[in-house]
Amino acid sequence: MQTDSSFTFVLFGGTGDLSMRKILPALFEAHRAGGMLADSGKIVAVARHATDRAEYIQWVNGHVKAHVSKNGVDEAAWESFLARIEFVNIDLGNPEDFVQLRDAIKDLPGIRVFYLATGPSLFVPICRALASVGLNDNARIVLEKPLGYDLKSSNAINDAVGEIFAEEQIYRIDHYLGKEPVQNLLALRFGNALFEPLWRREWVESIQITIAEELGVEARGDFYDNTGALRDMVQNHLLQLLSIVAMEPPHSMDSDSVRDEKLRVLRALKPIDPRDIGKVAVRGQYHSGVIRGTAVPAYATEPGVKPESSTETFVALKVEIENWRWAGVPFFLRTGKRLADRVAEIVVNFRAVPHSALGASALRAGANRLVIRLQPNETIRLYCLAKQPGEGMNLASVHLDLAFDQFFREGQMEAYQRLLLDVINGRLALFVRRDEQEAAWRWVEPILNEWKASLKPPKPYASGTWGPAAASAMLAQHGTCWLEEEN
């Protein structure tokens, strides 16, 4: 991915956790690779927790360097990366300070990218302040999630930002869309004749999408207690993954062709009747337990969390898509904190053969399935049935495994690295368009409203397990179960 695109990358929240762990390391990896970032490109960090460039560079050396590579840091590359970085200390709440930012970047080259790695309450004030000093023209703005608390607040932010930046200037980032296996899902479906004829209701029995975390809320108790898993993970990550799994083939991979097809899926989601939410939606909250041999506390005792909190840390949903390809196929979505393992994967369960000529062992061995794992190890695995060695026709499940780190010698590109390069180079396909976001909020809103009004608390589950038993019972009603296997 070579580029000659000169740029000025302005990073608001330059000393924040996201900048430290993801954004700056991703920019360094692109810099170190050579040719991915134009030599003239500059990074301008904006923050209040440093007084000048020297202090900021000291912070980068002390906090960012540990996150840039598992294999050590090339010191020459690191020093040349630091040479790209400038720093501006301004108060984001004071529009008059943005004159200082304008003056600092007015002579810097190329397209201007403004990355808002801040809380959503600052999105609109920052955009208005940029416009007040003329920095919104011919620029790109990157918005991190969460973009609003519900459909109304999301629309309010989008309306305000949309008055300042055109839709084609706005990059709403969802880092799951930048992951290598998600890209390979598109290649698998639309680059091969083998799978596409099977990718429909006649051959698919059900689909599972799981994003599970071992971590709790860590230091984000205040934020998470006002957000919950449905807003934090389902409305964006899980529904975006679902739309890619279920979308129709686009006529090309240009930005609007891909996003048009994702939008059609989101608009085809079967609306949930509030009276049925108890049947198709499970919410849970973790209690104390053990994760990898270490005792961990209950959610209600985490710092920043209200002791009587009814915020969900686990969600499982049954979703249906009302179109010709997927009618009648259940999509099961699951996400949670303090679960038994850290894993993100898509499981396509194919239908069993209509008649087993090979006897009972074929039925016991199960049907075919395709597992696309996003983390921690990125693989695509196809499970088939094969005869066990020895006497008789005894079948067992075997798999064909595409392990990217073994098949491709060159290192994989991290999600943020790919997405930041796409912003710099003006590629919108992997970013969420406003109408997609609205459709997702519209679909989850009945669940949000019902849970807010409900007097029933979330179902408890012990940390280190796979969540409430009700989530497994929901799948059992459809004759299936969650795929839960060791990494």
Residues 6+ apart with CB under 8 A from 70: none
Residues 213 and 412: beta-carbon distance below 8 Å: no
Residues 37 and 4: beta-carbon distance below 8 Å: no
Instruction: Give the span between the Cα atoms of 49 and 17, in whole angstroms.
Output: 13
Q: Are strands 294-296 and 7-12 parallel, antiparallel or unpaired?
A: unpaired
Structure tokens at 8: 């000025």
Partnered with residue 432 across adjacent β-strands are 172
Instruction: Give the span between the Cα atoms of 142 and 324, in whole angstroms.
Output: 35
Residues 6+ apart with CB under 8 A from 295: 288, 289
Structure tokens at 12: 């608001």
Per the document, the length of the chain is 487
Tell which residue, 328, 335, 322, 325, has the closest CA to residue 209. 335
| Exposure b/e, 28-37, CB count within 10 A at least 16 = b | bbbbbbeebb
Is residue 338 helix, strand or coil?
coil
Structure tokens at 287: 């209690």
Q: At what angle do helices 75-82 and 24-33 cross, to 10 degrees?
A: 120
Partnered with residue 8 across adjacent β-strands are 42, 112
Instruction: Tally Cβ neighbours within 10 Å of residue 192.
Output: 9
Residues 63 and 31: beta-carbon distance below 8 Å: no
Instruction: Give the span between the Cα atoms of 287 and 299, in whole angstroms.
Output: 6
Instruction: Tally Cβ neighbours within 10 Å of residue 67.
Output: 14
Cα–Cα distance list, 325 to 186, 246, 266, 349 (Å): 17, 8, 14, 15
Among 67, 237, 251, 399, the one annotated catalytic: 237
Active-site residue, 67 included? no
Is residue 404 helix, strand or coil?
helix
Residues 326 and 299: beta-carbon distance below 8 Å: no
Residues 6+ apart with CB under 8 A from 289: 295, 296, 338, 462, 463, 464, 465
Residue in the structure block whose two tokens are 């679960």: 339
Q: Which residues are catalytic?
A: 237
